[in-house]
Amino acid sequence: MTITDVARHAQVSTTAVSKVLRNAGGVSEAMRAKVRAAIDDLGYRPHNAARAMRGRTFTIGVLLPHIRNPFFADIIDGLTDEISASGYQAIMVQSGGRDPAAERRASDALVDRQVDGVFWVAPACARAQLEQLADDTPLVVLGRHDRSSRYDCVLDDDEVGAELAVEHLIGLGHRRVAHITDSLRSRSTALLQTIRAATYERVMTEHGLAEHIAVASTSYTEEGGYEGTRELLSRDPRPTAIFAGSDQAAFGALAAVHEAGLTVPGDISVAGYDNARVTGLAHIALTSVDQDGALMGRTAGRLLLERIGGRTAAVRFSVTPTLVTRRSTAPPDPRLEGRTPDW
């Protein structure tokens, strides 16, 4: 099946069919509908290799650290909503997230498939590797705080978000507030986990609570949150609140608290970061920092389409986070904080 067959079935020129397939201008809506109907009738599917020879494959490569994080689903929903009207499809690859060599293999695999652009979520590699990719393929990066003239960035104001979470817990009366971070933070000050951890320490210090700073450096995963919380619970005195650097880590924290025979928030308050949709479920009800993953995904899609269309000036888009409070955080039991109860 070729575009000649589609043109004959729709009774239009092959040029018109080509314009519809490329989502180009110069075609009326009536003709566009006619061509689309013919494509559906015939089951025509453009051949990617042939489209690549003409300049585009209408595919966007998406690199995710892993596919277990529910927050990534919010981002991808936003991305696909934005690019679908332009005829683009997303190809998702798991990059490994912690191994720059594995990240390079994943990005090379997408380039080999001749994607028109790459959307890279939370890369751990050096900026030089990102710029090398951007020199040949339009690139939008999500979650990095470094600046480059060669690619676009979509990011959350992680300092504001972390401050919201820690201030909330301190405002409830907690003094022994602990933090679960990702061990990747040691690699670069541009990584979001580095900024969230540094902000936690700064806010604690500003409130005169430096002696209570307690950081478990594991990973932004359920396993990391679980292991980090077990480590924190073994300390004496144990914390009365935990700020996990991601919702996934917070889920692991909830499991560890439950396993220890403690309650949330009766014994320990837990707050996360991302506000993934599952955090609002009644049996989880996790207090979390909302960075609007769908908006970030839509914005990344728009910027990437602009890059593919020829824009070369770098764009940096920052989301201002908000705090969504739920049942996982509450004032501490005065006896746990070593104070005399009011009652």
Residue 125, token pair as written in the block: 């590699």
**Which pLDDT does position 304 carry in this prediction?**
97
Residue type, 93: V
Checking if the pLDDT of 48 tops 70, the result is: no
Residue 162, token pair as written in the block: 């972390």
Tens digit of each residue's pLDDT (9 = 90 or more) over 320-338: 999 999 999 999 988 766 5
More confidently predicted of 9 and 253:
253
DSSP state of 6: H
Burial per residue of 118-152, b for 16 or more beta-carbon CB atoms within 10 angstroms, e otherwise: bbbbbbbbebeebebbbeebbbbbbbbbeebeebb
Checking if the pLDDT of 97 tops 80, the result is: no
Strand-pairing partners, residue 322, are: 290
Residue 58, token pair as written in the block: 């209408």
When mean pLDDT is compared across 46-60, 82-96, 159-173, 174-188, the lowest value belongs to 46-60
* Reported confidence tier of residue 343, pLDDT bands at 50, 70, 90: very low
**Which pLDDT does position 336 carry in this prediction?**
65
Within 10 Å of residue 261's Cβ, how many Cβ atoms? 7
Of 285, 291, 236, 290, the closest CA to residue 265 belongs to 285
* Reported confidence tier of residue 310, pLDDT bands at 50, 70, 90: very high
Does this model's pTM top 0.75?
A: yes
Tell me whether the omega of the peptide bond preceding residue 237 falls within 30 degrees of 0, making it cis.
Answer: yes
| Helix locations, 207-246, DSSP H | 222-233
DSSP state of 328: T
**Which pLDDT does position 340 carry in this prediction?**
42
**Which pLDDT does position 342 carry in this prediction?**
42
Residue type, 302: R
CA distance 56 to 306: 14
**Which pLDDT does position 259 carry in this prediction?**
97
CA distance readout (Å), 150 to 109, 160, 306: 21, 26, 14
**Which pLDDT does position 54 carry in this prediction?**
47
CB–CB of 322/162 below 8 Å? no
CA distance 321 to 301: 20
CA distance 123 to 305: 20
3-state secondary structure of 301: helix
